[in-house]
A and B are shown apart, each in its own frame.
Chain A
Amino acid sequence: MPGAIAFQFPDLFFGGLWVTIQISALGLAGALVIGTAVALLRISPAAPLRWLGAAYVEFFRNTPLVVQLFFLFLGLPLVGLRFSSDTFESIFRAAATGMALYHGAYVAEVVRGGLLGVDKGQIEAARSLGLSYAQMLRYVQLPQTFRAVVPPVGNIAIALVKNTSLASTIGVTELLFGAEIVESRTFRAEESFATATLLYLLLTIPLGLAVNYLERRLLVAR
């Protein structure tokens, strides 16, 4: 029976699932912050800031996530930077950081689109009321942007959950890693990976439903 193997190796499957959840949550939170900041750079009135934002997006979108993870894990120590003196803490943080940096680039593009989608007249109205640029962003442009970008950001979040499996390449004991270890010990490949698939679906399907729900609610509110 698929899934039963999870209870024979709970540390590897449920422990791995928990690590996947943690990396996903930290990575998503980071990606939202980074994505918003980079999007603001990209629409900034100052050209050098716009270039900086564009460079960030192009760099992180156009290099493989695995390469970025390896750089964070094994490249940063070359220049004397280390997430933690403990290797396992270090790879965990490298993985969460990698998820945030990489998906932040995608969030930035979506948020930029949302910011540009806010009617120019509203920006003028806010400014003519005496709101500063920062206040206008915070109270007028960003709240509307966040509503508009819920569906695409939801898709990025689902992609992020699946991409956490790449963290296994730098030795993070997440869900896929657990499944591979079980497979190598038991040679029960189909069962191991079918179980991992079920557990991934357990995360991504509710996430998709949550996004749909939010989308509908925001639509009604508008």
Chain B
Amino acid sequence: MRGITRTVGVALAIVFAAACGGASTPAASQPAASAKASAPKFELSTYQYAIQTKGKLRIGSQEDNPPFSVKNPATGKWEGFDADFGRELAKAIFGTQDDIDKFIEWVPVVSATRIPSLTDNKADVIIKTFTITEERKTQIDFSDVYFVTGQRILVKKSNDTIKEAADLGAKTVCAQRGSTSEQNITKANPAAKVLLLDSYPACLLALQQGQADAVSTDETILFGLVKVDPNTKIVGKPFSDEPYGIGVKKNQNGDRQGFVPFVNTWLAGMIQDGTWGKLYEKHITPVSGDKKTSPKG
């Protein structure tokens, strides 16, 4: 039943990725990688040491989740904020390398497979717009917050009557069926009329065809939609909190010893030395228009 909307979604994602393909340069091919002397030293009992020894960090991310993670179909290279963030984590484990991708195994996931790919030990980390919730914390561990988003509103560029949630009264607002976005809209403005479709690309079509006045969900998803259709814009202040974390399998019998603290230390360093801000500027600013130096702003 959701085939059509998924098809539409994939088609849009391919168009988007192809558009980006021209700008990116393919990774230069290099002889087999070898860890350089600059690689950090870890305690033998830690998980980061185990990864370093194996020579590969397995990063789970989504192939079509712009601007956070997109696998460029033309080059096969992973791009986006989450992808580059993963590369930084790999550098923290393997040291500075000529081609850090040689030390990364990319594991494609979708929303529903994020937790299983950790608990089944298919991926070491999940970096994929992964909202930290109490319910999820019972099954896996999260790093500290590395990105904060909230629900905002997407409208046509020509629309200047809708500026924030308060303007949604009697307007048709599209959201994905079964998402928390739907309930957030009703909470923010009970007078809004919510049109529920199966996917956000379908909502974007409804917006383009004038069947919806606005689309509302996580700002990050709206970023992706703006990139697909530059005739749209994101308006209003966020009216919900969505903190993203890096997902890690829970430490059982010491199999993830010291890993979450290591990731948190690295994360703090990333923010402190300005790398986080640079990644934000590279991937998020082009669609959001703002600049940030840390998840908190």
Interface of A is mostly: helix
Asked whether any CB of chain A lies closer than 8 Å to the CB of B197, the reply is yes
| Cα of A90 to Cα of B212 in the assembled complex, Å | 11
Interface centre among A66, A90, A171, A180, by most B CB within 10 Å? A171
Which residues of B are found within 8 Å of A166, using beta-carbon distances? 1
A147 to chain B minimum Cβ distance, whole angstroms, is: 36
Q: Which of B2-10, B219-227, B283-291 contacts A (4 or more CB under 8 A)?
A: B2-10
Structural contact, A77 and B177, CB atoms closer than 8 A? no
Q: By the criterion CB–CB under 8 Å, are A180 and B177 in contact?
A: yes
Does A171 lie within 8 Å of B195, measured CB to CB?
Answer: yes
Chain B binding surface SS class: mixed
**What's the minimum C-beta distance from A81 to chain B, rounded to whole angstroms?**
11
Candidates A78, A169, A183; contact of B209 at CB < 8 Å? A78
- Contact indicator A177/B205 (Cβ below 8 Å): no
Contact B211–A73 (Cβ < 8 Å): yes
Partner of B210 from A77, A168, A181 at Cβ < 8 Å:
A77
Which residue on chain A has the smallest CB distance to residue B195? A171
CB of A185 closer than 8 Å to a CB of B: yes
- Known: A66-B3, A67-B4, A74-B211. Contact between A88 and B206, CB under 8 A? no
Residues of A within 8 A of B198 (CB): 169
A67 to B7, CA, bound (A): 11
Size of the chain A interface, CB-CB below 8 angstroms? 25
B117 interface contact, C-beta 8 A:
no
Q: A78-B209, A88-B195, A169-B197 are contacts. A180–B1 as well, Cβ < 8 Å?
A: no
Partner of B5 from the list A82, A87, A169, A184 (CB cut-off 8 Å) is A169
Q: Is the CB of A183 within 8 A of B178?
A: yes
Q: Does A60 contact B (CB under 8 A)?
A: no
A185 near B183 (CB under 8 angstroms)? yes
Contact code string A106-129 (vs B, CB < 8 Å = 1, else 0): 000000000000000000000000
Of the A-B pairs whose beta carbons lie under 8 Å apart in the complex, a sample of 26, sorted by A's number, is: A64-B3, A66-B4, A67-B4, A74-B202, A74-B205, A74-B209, A77-B209, A77-B210, A87-B172, A87-B195, A87-B206, A88-B195, A165-B1, A169-B2, A169-B5, A170-B197, A171-B195, A171-B196, A180-B177, A180-B178, A181-B177, A181-B178, A181-B182, A184-B177, A184-B178, A185-B183
Q: Which residues of A contact B (CB under 8 A)?
A: 64, 66-67, 70, 73-74, 77-78, 82, 87-88, 90-91, 165-166, 168-171, 177, 180-181, 183-185
